[in-house]
Amino acid sequence: MYWAFGNAWLVDTVFPVSSRGELEAILPPLVQWAAIVLKTGAALLGLVTLTAIARLLPGWMVKTARVLGWIAAAIIVFWGFTQTVWFALAKANVLEVLGWDWTERSINGHVFVWDPWFLIWGLVLGYALLASRQTKQ
């Protein structure tokens, strides 16, 4: 949300840009807001399925949220893992990341900050969904 509201702090750790204008050329505001909605939705899936909120909702809604939660966890883990490995290989000069003139700072941001956090987020969501499953007795 910070970037979507027009700020540019740390954006160069994700994209090889030096200004807000360059960011908007790569990632238009509509795309930024769509990402915010999707990430917030993935976070809310965890709240709906893993807290007392689930007891207030109809069973079909909780089951749907859990299925969507598993899908979100799989996508987030896949993204975090593949991006971390991809940029780590680029950092090690094993392969080249195409598309832009990637800077050392943006590659480091992907390897050491952003992509590992996605991996952790997905693993935690998956673990929480697994640990909170209802067992039939």
**What are the sequence ranges of the domains in the chain?**
11-131
**pLDDT confidence of residue 137:** 40
- Write down the pLDDT at residue 136: 45
The pLDDT, as a whole number, for residue 135 is 53
Burial 7-38 (b: 16+ CB within 10 A, else e): ebeebbbbbbbeeeebbbeebeeeeeeeeeee
pTM: 0.81
The residue ranges of the chain whose pLDDT is under 70 are 135-137
Query: What local confidence, expressed as pLDDT, does residue 124 receive?
Result: 92
Tokens describing residue 129: 């969904």
Distance CA(85)–CA(90), nearest Å, equals 9
Predicted pLDDT of residue 25: 78
